[in-house]
Amino acid sequence: MFSQLKPLPTDPILGLMAAFKADTNANKIDLGVGVYKDEQGNTPVLKAVKKAEEFRLANETSKSYIGLAGNLDYCQKMEELLLGNAHPALLANRVRTAQTPGGTGSLRVAAEFIKRCNDNATVWVTTPTWANHISLFEAAGLTVKEYPYYDYEKKGLLFDEMVNALSQIPAGDVVLLHACCHNPSGMDLNAEQWQTVTDIAKAQGFTVLIDIAYQGFGTSLDEDAAGLRLLASQVEELIICSSCSKNFGLYRDRIGACSIISKDASAADVSNSVLLSVVRSIYSMPPAHGADIVSTILSSSELTTMWHDELDEMRSRINEFRSLLKEKLNDKCHGMDFSFIERQHGMFSFLGINKEQIERLQKEYSIYIVGSSRVNVAGISHANIDYFADAVAEVTK
Q: Is 194 a catalytic residue?
A: no
Neighbours of 269 (CB within 10 A): 12
Cα 218 to Cα 129: distance, rounded to the nearest angstrom: 17
Catalytic residue among 130, 155, 194, 307: 130
Q: Is 246 a catalytic residue?
A: yes
Catalytic residue among 246, 326, 328, 332: 246
Is residue 184 reached through a cis peptide bond, with omega within 30 degrees of 0 on the bond before it? yes
Cα 34 to Cα 49: distance, rounded to the nearest angstrom: 20
* 3-state SS track over 181-224: CCCCCCCCCCHHHHHHHHHHHHHHCCEEEEEECCCCCCCCHHHH
Is residue 128 reached through a cis peptide bond, with omega within 30 degrees of 0 on the bond before it? yes
DSSP 48-101: HHHHHHHHHHHH----S---TT--HHHHHHHHHHHH-TT-HHHHTT-EEEEEEE
CB distance 338 to 330 below 8 Å: yes
Catalytic residue among 30, 173, 188, 211: 211
Active-site residue numbers?
Answer: 130, 211, 246
